[in-house]
Amino acid sequence: MSELSIVSSSPHAHSGSSVRRIMLDVIIALVPAVLVSLYFFGWDAFRLTTACVVTCVAAEAASRKWMGRNIGIDDLSAIITGILLAFNLPPTLPTWMAVVGSVFAIVICKQLFGGIGYNPFNPALAGRVMLLISFPVFMTRWSEWTIPSPIGMDAVTTATPLGLVKTTIGSAGALPFDFTGSAMLQLFVGNQNGCIGEVSAAALLLGGIYLLIRRCITWHIPVAYIATVAVFSGILWIHHPQQNLAPHFHVLSGGLMLGAIFMATDMVTSPVTKRGMLVFGIGCGILTMLIRKWGGYPEGVSFAILLMNAVTPLINRATRPRVFGAPKGGRKQS
């Protein structure tokens, strides 16, 4: 430091927050889910998470150097992209595909748009969707899992709960099983089939509470998202209980918890106004349910969030708060 005093514009006080600290908090919040994924999927979870994180960080560093950006990788955002992408991969995926997805997420979806702050889409989700469309077989090949059966006889399946439901309802009509009591608990702790990071609602909620306490996220998006899914599925369920899954099942299965708490709340790609966040969450919920119920895929969280990412600028515009002192209801700001 030189001997001259520092002069800057006011304010001269700061809350102490930093992008790096926020990213670090998100990583800390992801730790419980990482541990659960290691417990249930073992080596595969370790393999995929490591591959994604290492590739993302390397790709970030390389592309920044290549594009001549002077901001370093120390904001930690690439690590989060890596973990979240890995969380969205099935345990059987070959490592090289995870690497391809990571490079796509960082280079194409983030750095080519201008790097941190400028990407319109959540890089991890974009990476996952790219893989899902390019390698549909690999991306839907799950490990073996014992489903709780309604008649007390457990069966082994290699499908996810939502996938199972989609195929059985599509062909036969009646649900193959019901989810009550201990089965719900099983879903809640994470003993189910799915992508390595999405299985345990408990671990994800724990991380979400941490993020809320640390003010890294606000309640608006997760609550609006999950509540919309619950209400939407609840209406369907009351209307046709044989044809539709119960709302609590919808909430606890698939990628909803992961999406609502960690992906939809990504600061860069979600609205900045509180009302906008509610709209965003509700939109995500409706799209997710539309895809789950009537779409070609059993799960729709990734697509729903990406589609809502695309309209985030419009939501920001539409939910611009009324300037203090401006006439109420009047003066639309162009």
Partner 1 sequence: MTMVIQTVLTIGGAGLVCGGALALAARFLAVKEDPRVAEVDGILPGANCGGCGYAGCAAYAEAIVLEDAPINLCAPGGAEILSKLAGATGQTAQMAEHKVAIVLCGGDVENAPRKFDYNGVADCQAAHTTGGGDKACPYGCLGYASCSRACPVGAIEIVDGIAKVHPDLCISCGACVRTCPRALIKMVPYARKIHVMCSSRDKGPAVKKACKVGCIGCTICAKLAEDEAIKMQGFLAVVDYDKELDNDAVIEKCPGKCIVRI
Partner 2 sequence: MGAIKAKFSAPGGVHPAYHKDLAAEQPIAEMPLPASLVISMSQHLGKPATPTVKKGDTVLRGQVIGEAAGFISAAVHAPTSGTVKLVAPVPTAAGPRATAVTIEPDGEDKWIDGMAPCPDWRQLEKKDIVEKIAAAGITGMGGAGFPTHVKVSPPPETAIDTLILNGAECEPYLTADYRLMVERAADIWEGALIIAKALEATNIYVAIEDNKPLAIAAMAEAMPEQAGAAHVVALKTEYPQGAEKQQIFAVTGREVPAGGLPLNVGIVVENVGTTLAVWDAVVNGRPLTERVTTVTGGPVAKPGNVLARLGTSSADMVEFCGGTSSPVAKIISGGPMMGFAQADMSGPTTKTTSGLLLLGPESVHAYESMPCISCGRCVGVCPMNLMPNELSQFLEAEDYETAEAYNVMDCIECGCCAFECPAHRPLVQHMRRGKAQVMLNRRKQ
Residue 327 binds what, of partner 2, partner 1, none (CB under 5 to 8 Å, by partner type)? partner 2
CB of 248 to partner 2, least distance (A): 31
CB of 118 to partner 2, least distance (A): 6
Nearest to 130 by CA among 156, 162, 98, 163: 98
182, 148 Cβ separation under 8 angstroms: yes
Instruction: Please report, as a single letter, which amino acid is at residue 18.
Output: S
Q: Is 8 in the site for partner 1 (CB under 8 A)?
A: yes
Residue 150 binds what, of partner 1, partner 2, none (CB under 5 to 8 Å, by partner type)? none
Contacts of 229 (CB under 8 A, 6+ apart): 247, 250, 251, 256, 285, 288, 289
CB of 1 to partner 1, least distance (A): 8
The 10 Å Cβ neighbour count of residue 86 is 31
Q: Is 6 in the site for partner 1 (CB under 8 A)?
A: yes
* 50 token code pair: 């490591």
Q: Which stretch binds partner 1 (CB under 8 A): 4-12, 66-74, 229-237, 285-293?
A: 4-12
- Cα–Cα distance measured from residue 96 to residue 102, given in angstroms and rounded to the nearest whole number: 10
Phi, psi (rounded to 5 degrees) for 147: -90, 145
* 79 token code pair: 């690590």
Q: Which stretch binds partner 1 (CB under 8 A): 1-9, 163-171, 184-192, 276-284?
A: 1-9
C-alpha dihedral (130, 191, 205, 272), degrees to nearest 10: 10
Contacts of 124 (CB under 8 A, 6+ apart): 80, 81, 82, 84, 85, 87, 88, 105, 263
Under DSSP, the state recorded for 154 is: -
Is the Cβ of residue 13 or residue 153 nearer to partner 2 in the bound state? 13
CB of 332 to partner 2, least distance (A): 11
Instruction: Please report, as a single letter, which amino acid is at residue 204.
Output: L
* 203 token code pair: 């671990």
Number of residues this chain uses to bind partner 1 (CB under 8 A): 7
Is the Cβ of residue 7 or residue 13 nearer to partner 1 in the bound state? 7
Q: Is 7 in the site for partner 1 (CB under 8 A)?
A: yes
The 10 Å Cβ neighbour count of residue 227 is 17
Residue 320 binds what, of partner 1, partner 2, none (CB under 5 to 8 Å, by partner type)? partner 2
Is the Cβ of residue 8 or residue 242 nearer to partner 1 in the bound state? 8
CB of 85 to partner 1, least distance (A): 35
Among 2, 70, 171, 334, binds partner 1 (CB under 8 A): 2
Provide the β-strand partners of residue 157.
Answer: 145
Q: Which residues bind partner 2 (CB under 8 A)?
A: 1, 4-15, 17-19, 21-22, 71, 75, 114-118, 267-274, 277, 316, 320-327, 333-334
Is the Cβ of residue 5 or residue 182 nearer to partner 1 in the bound state? 5
Residue 134 binds what, of partner 1, partner 2, none (CB under 5 to 8 Å, by partner type)? none
Residue 115 binds what, of partner 2, partner 1, none (CB under 5 to 8 Å, by partner type)? partner 2
Q: Is 5 in the site for partner 1 (CB under 8 A)?
A: yes
Is the Cβ of residue 111 or residue 253 nearer to partner 2 in the bound state? 111
CB of 320 to partner 2, least distance (A): 6
Nearest to 122 by CA among 133, 109, 107: 109
CB of 11 to partner 1, least distance (A): 12
Looking up tokens 């201008």 gives 114
Nearest to 96 by CA among 33, 31, 51: 51
Q: Would you tell me which residues interact with partner 1 (CB under 8 A)?
A: 2, 4-9
